[in-house]
Amino acid sequence: MATKKVLVMLSEWGYWGEELVGPLEVLDQHGYTSTFMTARGKRPHALPPSMEAGYFDPPLKKVVTDEYYARRTREIDESNRLDNPVNLSAWFPERPYFNDPNFGHELEAYHNKRDQCWKELEEYDALLMVGGSGPMIDMVNNQRLHDVILGFYYQNKLIAAECYAVTCLAFAREWTERKSIIRGKHVTGHALEYDYKDGTGVLGVNANFGPPFYPLEYILRDAVGPEGQFHGGVGRTISTVLDYPFLCGRSTQDSRLVGEKMIEALEHELRRWGW
């Protein structure tokens, strides 16, 4: 029997620990091999609050990092499991600038290389994009990652995203058509009520960026259009939505459930859940 594999995208600017640990433990338990990838091949690390048991989330007014996930996050962060991730920038091509002097030939070469990379995605059963504040920097508007998403989309394979990584789905679209692939779909993501007003930070930068870089709810509402629907799940602990091939988890508390729904979609043909 062929090995079951999931490609896991992590931010080099910090991922939220439980949003990796939750689904990863489920995938491990079901015998999946997880291949980790970052934008430029740097080893990813967890955001410090996600390793701090008792961390209090200001918008939610409750503790969101318990002792178990804090410990498991530290164990993975201190292990060699995330060493030597796939370097996305060395794998998928960069689309040329429109005004490059050799644009026509470069665009053709880009499409040919992308087709080759899409062929290489055939070894994976699913894509998982882990959330946190870091993805806002090196995942959300990463054209190469958009092309990875498109590759899984055209192969009708499961695409899972958590927290602010859900934004990647909104921006994944063909350059020629510019219509989001989640148009007409049901999705979830950070509701406006749960966004930070202050204190957003990332690894490697000693700065408080204040609120998140964008209101995710507005982006998702616009991306799905009038035929689709955004589900914020405000007032509910869990907000996980599967509208195949897209599986979205709103935040930290959805992490393990995202992993469980990945298994149900991959092994039991679950195609709709959460609304």
Amino acid 2: pLDDT = 65
Which structure tokens are listed for 210? Answer: 């204040």
1 pLDDT above the threshold of 90: no
Residue 3 pLDDT level (bands cut at 50, 70, 90) = confident
pLDDT tens digits along 210-242: 999 999 999 999 999 999 999 999 999 999 999
The pLDDT mean for the chain works out to 96
Report all structural domains of the chain as residue ranges with CATH numbers, in order of start.
4-87+126-273 (3.40.50.880)
CB 165 within 8 A of CB 109: no
DSSP 213-235: SS-HHHHHHHHHTTTSEEE--TT
pLDDT tens digits along 95-116: 999 999 999 999 999 999 999 9
pLDDT tens digits along 113-145: 999 999 999 999 999 999 999 999 999 999 999
The whole-number average pLDDT for the span 67-85 is 97
Chain centroid, CA 20 distance in Å: 10
Amino acid 178: pLDDT = 92
pLDDT tens digits along 80-89: 999 999 999 9
Which structure tokens are listed for 262? Answer: 């990945």
Return all residues near 99 (Cβ < 8 A) that are at least 6 apart.
none
